[in-house]
Amino acid sequence: MTFGKIFPAWFFWRCENTLPGSWFKHAQWFFAIDETFHIMALGMLIGTLVIVDLRLLGFGMRRQSVSQLAGFLGPWTLLGVASMIVTGIPLFMSEAVKLSGSSPFFFKMVFLVCAVTLHFTLHRKAIASSTRQGSGLGKLAACLSLMCWLGVALAGRAIAFL
């Protein structure tokens, strides 16, 4: 499945060949610099998610409570997601036509929507109702969250290779 089968071809063509997309596409080094920021944001984002999700699973920072950790790191997670999207959109626009035929890109977006939805629903609920011993709900939310974000990262990396 690809976005090219859902949206008309002119949409991708216009993304890539009108401003600001055409600038992203032709500016020397823009792609490399933007991708570097995208990866740095990834490091920060995955770090915050991993620390909170490991804690929900009963590993890592066990001396702190789940809600404490989520309180510390939650704002940074949002900042991480926001930076990924802000740096990701120009990456998309600079090669929109190629991505319209890329199934890894399609699945990356599907995983991303799942991950963000999960973050604001089940994940949030699990953190709010967390206890010292941990709960089944917390473990389920942590596993699903880790799997969705892993899916985003794997599919994202696969865009370059498939």
Partner 1 sequence: MSHLLSFVQWLNDTPLSVYLRESDWPFPIIETIHILGLGFSVGTVMWVDLRLLGLAMREAPVTDVIEQLEPWAIGGFAVMFVSGSLLILSEPLKCYNTLAFRIKVVLLILAALNVLYFHKRVMHNVDDWDRNMPWRAKMVGILSLILWLGVVIAGRWTAYF
| Residues found near partner 1 in the complex (CB under 8 A) | 32, 35-36, 39-40, 42-48, 50-51, 54, 60-64, 68, 72-73, 76, 150, 153-154, 157-158, 160-161
Between 6 and 78, name the residue whose CB sits nearer to partner 1: 78
Minimum gap (Å) between residue 68 Cβ and partner 1: 7
Integer Cα distance of 75 and 94 in angstroms: 29
Those residues with Cβ within 8 angstroms of residue 52's Cβ, 6 or more apart along the chain or in another chain = 66, 69, 70, 73, 74, 77, 127, 142
C-alpha R_g of the chain: 18
Nearer to partner 1, 48 or 100 (CB): 48
Among the listed residues 37, 114, 54, 45, the one whose alpha carbon sits nearest the alpha carbon of residue 74: 45
If the CB atoms of residues 39 and 143 are measured against partner 1, the closer one turns out to be 39
Q: Compute the least distance from the CB of residue 5 to partner 1, in Å.
A: 25
CB of 76 to partner 1, least distance (A): 7
Decide whether 36 or 121 has the Cβ nearer to partner 1.
36
Whichever of 46 and 116 has its CB closer to partner 1, that residue is: 46
Q: Minimum CB separation from partner 1 for residue 157, in Å? A: 5
For the purposes of burial, counting CB atoms within 10 Å of the CB of 149, is it exposed (0-12), middle (13-18) or buried (19 or more)? buried
Separation of alpha carbons 76 and 84, rounded Å: 12
- Smallest distance from partner 1 to CB 72, Å: 5
Helix, coil or strand: residue 29: coil
